[in-house]
Amino acid sequence: MEKITSLQNQKVKAWTKLREKKERDRTGLFLAEGPHLIEEAMRQGIVETVITDGRYSFDGVQMVEAVPQVLKKLSASVSGVSCIAVCRQFTLPVKDPRRVLLLDRIQDPGNFGTLIRTAVSFGFDAVYVSEDTCDLYNEKVIRSTQGAMFHIPVIRATLSDTVRALQKDGFRVFGTSLHNAVSMSEAQESEKMAFVLGNEGQGVSPAILQLCDQSMFIEISGFESLNVAVAGGIIMYRYRGKR
């Protein structure tokens, strides 16, 4: 096994750059940290190289051993990791969808990752995200998905096109808004449902809301608003997929 002992190693320099979105976009690669995520990535066949301190070994993939400083440099974790994989970006195919989540300009990586995790938990079939939603391969997003990103298609798209395409396919598309909206309990359940959640500060953009079949709001008692990942969780639970 190749052994890397220097931070000046050219590969280490190249891998470190993958912590930046620009370089991930350019190369189509990303970093996945820790044995759990690497196993999920291996199951998808997208792992190029695993860098490890020697404590982990994976079969059928190129392994590189590195000193702890190298892993520390590649990792976003403060507590340190024992293995990091260089992976190819991927998109799972959408199969016969019944429940779809649309994310309009979600900014916070934690919210984005949590929404993906929740979508998988409640049997959703796909997540479409606006071009300006934060990067799926941001390490905080990956960490927040807890591996769920390997179990659901996450597709970057022009949301107005997606809404129209879903409607053509028989979907009822719900916006989330406090104005001109029905309460979530009043919304009618149907076989194919899609829900649009919006930006943390501004909500769903008016142009998208206008395309939706209906808007819904979550009945709250006291405060003016909910965190978007919490709101998404409540909606996805209520209309969870049956599979």
Minimum separation from the CB atom of position 92 to a second copy (A): 13
Residues 123-142 that bind a second copy (CB under 8 A): 123
Q: CA dihedral defined by 5, 77, 152, 183, rounded to 10 degrees?
A: -170
Task: Check binding of 37 to a second copy (CB under 8 A).
Answer: no
Task: Check binding of 93 to a second copy (CB under 8 A).
Answer: no
Task: Check binding of 117 to a second copy (CB under 8 A).
Answer: yes
CA distance 145 to 33: 12
- How many angstroms from the chain centroid is the CA of residue 226? 20
Q: What single string gives the DSSP state of each residue in 45-91?
A: T-EEEEEESSS---TTSEEEEE-HHHHHHH---SS--SEEEEEE---
Q: On the CB side of 71, how many CA atoms lie within 13 Å of its CA?
A: 25
Task: Check binding of 197 to a second copy (CB under 8 A).
Answer: no
Among 31, 37, 120, 196, binds a second copy (CB under 8 A): 120
Task: Check binding of 233 to a second copy (CB under 8 A).
Answer: yes
Task: Check binding of 121 to a second copy (CB under 8 A).
Answer: yes
Minimum separation from the CB atom of position 28 to a second copy (A): 26
Task: Check binding of 95 to a second copy (CB under 8 A).
Answer: no
Site size toward a second copy, by CB under 8 A: 32
Contact 83, 91 (CB under 8 A): no
Name the site residues for a second copy (rule: CB under 8 A).
Answer: 110, 114, 117-118, 120-123, 144, 146, 148, 151, 218-223, 225-227, 229-234, 237, 240-243
